[in-house]
Chains A and B, each alone.
Chain A
Amino acid sequence: MLNRVLKLGVMVIGTVLIAACSTTVKLPADDTDSIIPADEQIRPDATTSAAIKRLIENARQASKQGQMSRAESFLERAIRIEPKNPFLWHYLAKLHLYQGHYQRAEGLASKSTSLMQNSQRSRLHADNWRIIAHARQYQGDTVGAQRAQDEASSLSSGNH
């Protein structure tokens, strides 16, 4: 019984989110401030080096000023240094989503997910699915978007 209620809840939330997506057509990061979170919000794992943190901060500053290519360039440098850090790929995916590069955004978000260790499943994983949902939505793939959004919702509601 509990299971059924939960399932129903997830479905409802999912549908609402998808509906919201398709009607308002709003980017997750409509203001450039939130594409890359400020330092205290960054959650790369303990091994993240000072060099990576510096590059993320540079990328954040650049994206805040609307210099998306520069921001990309900083993140790509960071990826060259730590190619297995899923957060870097995630931020880069967001940057591309913001710029309307939907296919790129989807690819980068999937890559981020593929690099996650078990302990990191949860918010980042859900966020990646959200990027994918948006990217698919904008490309007209409503069914695919819904599937992605369902995945995101199920992770957010702790159902993983």
Chain B
Amino acid sequence: MPPRKKRTRRNPKPRPRKTRTRSFKWRKPLAVSLLVIACLSILYVIYLDWQVRSQFEGKRWAIPARVYARPLELYEGKLLSAQQLERQLVLMGYRIQYSPKTAGSYSREGKRFLIHSRRFQFWDGVEPERIVEVVLDRQSVSSITDDKTNTSIDLLRLEPMHIGGIYPLHKEDRILIQLAQAPKNLLTALLVIEDRRFYDHYGVDPKAIARALWTNVRAGKTVQGGSTLTQQLVKNFFLSNERTLWRKANEAIMSVLLDFHYDKNEILEAYLNEIYLGQDGGRAIHGFGLASQFYFGKNVEKLELSEMATLVALIRGPNYYHPIRAPKRLIARRNLIIEKLAEEKIIQPWQARMASRKTLGLQTYASRGANYYPAFIELVRRQLRKEYDEKDLQSEGLKIFTTLDPWVQDQAEIALQKTVQQLKPTTRSGAVLQGAVLVSSTTDGEVYAIVGDRQPRYTGFNRALDAVRPVGSLIKPAVYLTALSNKDEFNPATLLEDKAVRLLGPDKKTWAPENFDRKTHGNVPLFESLTRSYNLATVNLGLKVGFEPIQETLKRLGVEQNIPPYPSMLLGAVGMSPIDVMQMYHTYASGGFRSPLRSIQSVMTANGKPLQRFPLQVKQVVDAKLIHQLNTILRRVVTDGTARQLNHWVGKDIVIAGKTGTTNDLRDSWFAGFSGRHLAVVWMGNDQNKSTGLTGSSGAMRVWANMFQHIETQDLSLSDMPGLDYQYIDHHNGFVAEESCDRAVRLPFFPAQVPTQVSGCK
């Protein structure tokens, strides 16, 4: 709450008067004091006027930026299921019709869709409104035809889904709505219940005050308020609950002033976006837009009668009528409002009966249909502030085109929720199991989806961006990559010593790491050590390679923070957020090219003029052949190593590479994995940093698998590279083996690296 400014009391000097009339002498002091009071009052009113107007202008004149998801591009051969297409159409607000006559509708007959698309002005041109027939085949688009001309269409881009309105430079989270968006019944209910004469009064309503006073005096306590919507709005601007007469007077004056300056509809719109409707932890829920998402998980346009009445009921006191703590009280008030609407003949009696019988219908975490992605929007906000000029962002009504893929985002949310529910019984510590998911493209750094909380509509702590946790074994590929880049000394088959290590840590304590199975494995080939995530072999390797080269590798991969040169770093005693991890793994997934992760494709001004773009950038930071060696091993992690359950869980035979990560006492469960098209990083743990009882594969990897059951992706390409020689190696001893040997693994080597010793395994 902003501290109230002290009123300035300056005594305006009364002008000396020349006329002196004795008979009126006694009147002079009175006149002077009246004049002073009048002057002060005028000054005070001017001050109030300035205050209330600046508040109102601040809210009123900024038209929020509209944020869009990536548009759905349809072309022959695009991987897309009928379910996926329909879901996206529904999310974009397309209605199913028998024959799609209006823009924004579609019909469906099995795998044949008739879509009446809407016109949309994109960054690079206009997509016209048209009716197209889209036919799917198994899991992809088989034809797109213009229904009118019956010609085939090469490329159809549907308008992007609107995923929110933001003030790019403000930190507050609000879903702004325009008056025209508000359902008629909601407005009517609001006016009938809160301020019947809104369109007739001058900001205050003496009749209503008198009535409220009478009711309150009779009841002996405050039961009714006589505040107009304007007064409530003013009260919300200054956020104070004091009920002093002085405050009331101030409110009344400011309301009259507001009413004088602005149109009723402008005031009403500001009210809809400003009114306080509840609390979510540290976050205040202001406005009907956010409240409908928060309570019901839907856009305000889609509210049902009972839900509108619930929101109107909450205005009186979101705490007193708390939906969880006092549901009965809230339902009673809601039904009172519904009754009133029926009395006034705004709704039919049967509608009232139906609506009154409903439960509150608060959104459950599994509820669907919301196109509100707070965790993703948060990244958009941060990148806007970082990448764009502040003065550009101040212009009104910007259009922000993001990289969000609504289908992938859906799957990420569902997978995290589903997995949390599946795993709940095995969580020991009583702390709430939390998680974060990020999905991106493997080639260009475009972020498709972000989930920052097991309840994805919550805007609290965004774990995907801000939960800095030890990454455990996820660091290991960087250690092995550093070794492999020393081609003379290390190759995929080089033998490493998996034996006990004792070291003096920076805190003068001895550090004696162990393998997960608490055993030592003697001499193991390098690739096998990474596949099985052996700690001791990794530490011995890291000590040989040296901290500095590893720090250097991490930097090149895109890790920005300083990694301390302590031995425990080799096992991932390094705090990173999931998005930092994703930046690092993106370089592996893209074959050694680093691209900054992007959530924004482009920004356009309200009248369609493009602002600067956030272009596709790639920089080769690691030799493609080295990455190929590394990825071949990371692939083996999935076929034979710590992630070998993955393909079975995904239920598809896709080529994926990845790495599991588990930290001490099972506090953090990580999995980072990539196919040819998608990279996804999952973290699970709890905010109390207690044990979850989960390893990387039993927790985070399950989320990954659940998610990719429903995402069409492509094989990671590991085809033979020119300049490398391929050899079968016995994974027991790192020696050359026959192809038929059941321990043989085919590995890539630089020509001078190919081992010569023969294992004898056939």
Within 8 A of A (CB), among B662-721: 676-677, 717
Asked if B529 is at the interface (CB within 8 A of a chain A CB), the reply is: no
Asked if B123 is at the interface (CB within 8 A of a chain A CB), the reply is: yes
Cβ–Cβ < 8 Å partners of A54 in chain B = 154-155
Q: Which of chain A's residues has its CB closest to B625's CB?
A: A114
Contact A81 B617 (CB under 8 A): no
Within 8 A of A (CB), among B578-624: 591-593, 601-602, 610, 613, 615-620, 624
Cβ–Cβ < 8 Å partners of B73 in chain A = 51, 77, 80-81
Cβ–Cβ < 8 Å partners of A69 in chain B = 610, 613
Within 8 A of A (CB), among B442-473: 442-444, 446
Asked if A7 is at the interface (CB within 8 A of a chain B CB), the reply is: no
Contact A51 B619 (CB under 8 A): no
Asked if B124 is at the interface (CB within 8 A of a chain A CB), the reply is: yes
Total B residues in contact with A, Cβ cutoff 8 Å: 33
Within 8 A of A (CB), among B303-331: none
Contact B613 A84 (CB under 8 A): no
Cβ–Cβ < 8 Å partners of B618 in chain A = 107-108, 110-111
Cβ–Cβ < 8 Å partners of B78 in chain A = 81
Of the residues A51, A72, A84, contact of B155 by C-beta under 8 Å:
A51
Cβ–Cβ < 8 Å partners of A74 in chain B = 124
With contacts A55-B155, A73-B123, A73-B613 known, is A114 near B593, CB below 8 A?
A: yes
Contact A49 B75 (CB under 8 A): yes
Expressed in whole angstroms, the Cα–Cα distance for A112 and B586 within the complex equals: 17
Contact with B along A92-112 (1 / 0, CB 8 A): 100010000101100110110
Cβ–Cβ < 8 Å partners of B441 in chain A = 80, 83
Within 8 A of B (CB), among A41-98: 49-51, 53-55, 58, 62, 69-70, 72-74, 76-77, 79-81, 83-84, 92, 96
Cβ–Cβ < 8 Å partners of B739 in chain A = none
With contacts A70-B124, A73-B123 known, is A111 near B76, CB below 8 A?
A: no
Contact A83 B75 (CB under 8 A): no
Asked if A24 is at the interface (CB within 8 A of a chain B CB), the reply is: no
Cβ–Cβ < 8 Å partners of A83 in chain B = 441-444, 677
Contact A53 B154 (CB under 8 A): yes
Q: Distance (Å) between the CB of A83 and the closest chain B CB?
A: 4
With contacts A54-B154, A81-B73 known, is A114 near B591, CB below 8 A?
A: yes
Contact B616 A92 (CB under 8 A): yes
Expressed in whole angstroms, the Cα–Cα distance for A72 and B602 within the complex equals: 11
With contacts A55-B155, A83-B443 known, is A110 near B615, CB below 8 A?
A: no
Contact with A along B102-140 (1 / 0, CB 8 A): 000000000000000000000111000000000000000
Q: Which of chain B's residues has its CB closest to A110's CB?
A: B620
Expressed in whole angstroms, the Cα–Cα distance for A77 and B443 within the complex equals: 13
Cβ–Cβ < 8 Å partners of B154 in chain A = 49-51, 53-54
Q: Distance (Å) between the CB of B598 and the closest chain A CB?
A: 11
Cβ–Cβ < 8 Å partners of A104 in chain B = 615, 617
Within 8 A of A (CB), among B712-738: 717, 722
Expressed in whole angstroms, the Cα–Cα distance for A110 and B592 within the complex equals: 11
Expressed in whole angstroms, the Cα–Cα distance for A74 and B154 within the complex equals: 14
Contact B75 A76 (CB under 8 A): no
Contact B124 A107 (CB under 8 A): no
Expressed in whole angstroms, the Cα–Cα distance for A80 and B75 within the complex equals: 12
Of the residues A72, A73, A79, contact of B444 by C-beta under 8 Å:
A79
With contacts A51-B75, A73-B613 known, is A118 near B624, CB below 8 A?
A: no
Expressed in whole angstroms, the Cα–Cα distance for A69 and B619 within the complex equals: 20
Expressed in whole angstroms, the Cα–Cα distance for A118 and B618 within the complex equals: 22
Contact with A along B74-91 (1 / 0, CB 8 A): 011110000000000000
Of the residues A49, A58, A118, contact of B76 by C-beta under 8 Å:
A49
Contact A81 B75 (CB under 8 A): yes
Q: Distance (Å) between the CB of B232 and the closest chain A CB?
A: 46
Contact B624 A114 (CB under 8 A): yes
Q: Distance (Å) between the CB of B594 and the closest chain A CB?
A: 9
Q: Which of chain A's residues has its CB closest to B719's CB?
A: A117
Contact A79 B616 (CB under 8 A): yes
Q: Which of chain A's residues has its CB closest to B122's CB?
A: A73
Q: Which of chain B's residues has its CB closest to A93's CB?
A: B618
Expressed in whole angstroms, the Cα–Cα distance for A84 and B616 within the complex equals: 15
Q: Which of chain B's residues has its CB closest to A55's CB?
A: B155
Expressed in whole angstroms, the Cα–Cα distance for A74 and B618 within the complex equals: 17
Expressed in whole angstroms, the Cα–Cα distance for A121 and B613 within the complex equals: 32
With contacts A83-B443, A118-B722 known, is A50 near B76, CB below 8 A?
A: yes
Expressed in whole angstroms, the Cα–Cα distance for A126 and B365 within the complex equals: 55
Expressed in whole angstroms, the Cα–Cα distance for A104 and B77 within the complex equals: 30
With contacts A73-B602, A110-B593, A114-B591 known, is A49 near B617, CB below 8 A?
A: no
Contact A107 B620 (CB under 8 A): yes
Expressed in whole angstroms, the Cα–Cα distance for A51 and B441 within the complex equals: 20
Expressed in whole angstroms, the Cα–Cα distance for A62 and B123 within the complex equals: 13
Q: Distance (Å) between the CB of A24 and the closest chain B CB?
A: 28
Contact with A along B332-374 (1 / 0, CB 8 A): 0000000000000000000000000000000000000000000
Q: Which of chain A's residues has its CB closest to B628's CB?
A: A114
Contact A103 B444 (CB under 8 A): no
Contact with B along A29-48 (1 / 0, CB 8 A): 00000000000000000000
Expressed in whole angstroms, the Cα–Cα distance for A2 and B722 within the complex equals: 26
Expressed in whole angstroms, the Cα–Cα distance for A74 and B601 within the complex equals: 12
Cβ–Cβ < 8 Å partners of A114 in chain B = 591-593, 620, 624
Contact with B along A133-160 (1 / 0, CB 8 A): 0000000000000000000000000000
Contact A80 B444 (CB under 8 A): yes
Contact B616 A76 (CB under 8 A): yes
Q: Which of chain B's residues has its CB closest to A92's CB?
A: B616
Expressed in whole angstroms, the Cα–Cα distance for A55 and B154 within the complex equals: 10
Q: Distance (Å) between the CB of A98 and the closest chain B CB?
A: 14
Q: Distance (Å) between the CB of B120 and the closest chain A CB?
A: 14
Expressed in whole angstroms, the Cα–Cα distance for A70 and B616 within the complex equals: 13
| Highest count of chain A CB atoms <10 Å: which of B77, B78, B442 | B77
Of the residues A51, A96, A107, contact of B593 by C-beta under 8 Å:
A107
Expressed in whole angstroms, the Cα–Cα distance for A53 and B619 within the complex equals: 26
Cβ–Cβ < 8 Å partners of B76 in chain A = 49-51
Contact B75 A103 (CB under 8 A): no
Q: Distance (Å) between the CB of A59 and the closest chain B CB?
A: 9
Q: Distance (Å) between the CB of B58 and the closest chain A CB?
A: 33
Q: Which of chain B's residues has its CB closest to A114's CB?
A: B624
Cβ–Cβ < 8 Å partners of A62 in chain B = 124
Cβ–Cβ < 8 Å partners of B615 in chain A = 72, 76, 96, 101, 104
Cβ–Cβ < 8 Å partners of A53 in chain B = 154
Q: Distance (Å) between the CB of A135 and the closest chain B CB?
A: 12
Q: Distance (Å) between the CB of A114 and the closest chain B CB?
A: 5
Q: Which of chain B's residues has its CB closest to A78's CB?
A: B155
With contacts A73-B124, A111-B593 known, is A49 near B77, CB below 8 A?
A: yes
Q: Distance (Å) between the CB of B390 and the closest chain A CB?
A: 21
Expressed in whole angstroms, the Cα–Cα distance for A76 and B618 within the complex equals: 12
* Shortest Cβ-Cβ A-B pairs, 7 listed: A51-B75, A83-B443, A50-B154, A51-B155, A73-B124, A107-B619, A107-B618
Can you name 26 A-B pairs with beta carbons within 8 Å?
A: A49-B77, A49-B154, A50-B75, A51-B154, A53-B154, A55-B155, A58-B124, A69-B613, A70-B123, A70-B125, A76-B601, A77-B124, A79-B443, A79-B444, A80-B444, A80-B446, A83-B442, A84-B443, A84-B717, A92-B616, A107-B619, A110-B593, A110-B620, A111-B618, A111-B620, A118-B722
New A-B pairs, 10, CB < 8 Å, besides A50-B75, A50-B155, A111-B593: A49-B76, A51-B76, A58-B125, A70-B124, A72-B616, A80-B446, A81-B73, A81-B78, A83-B441, A92-B616
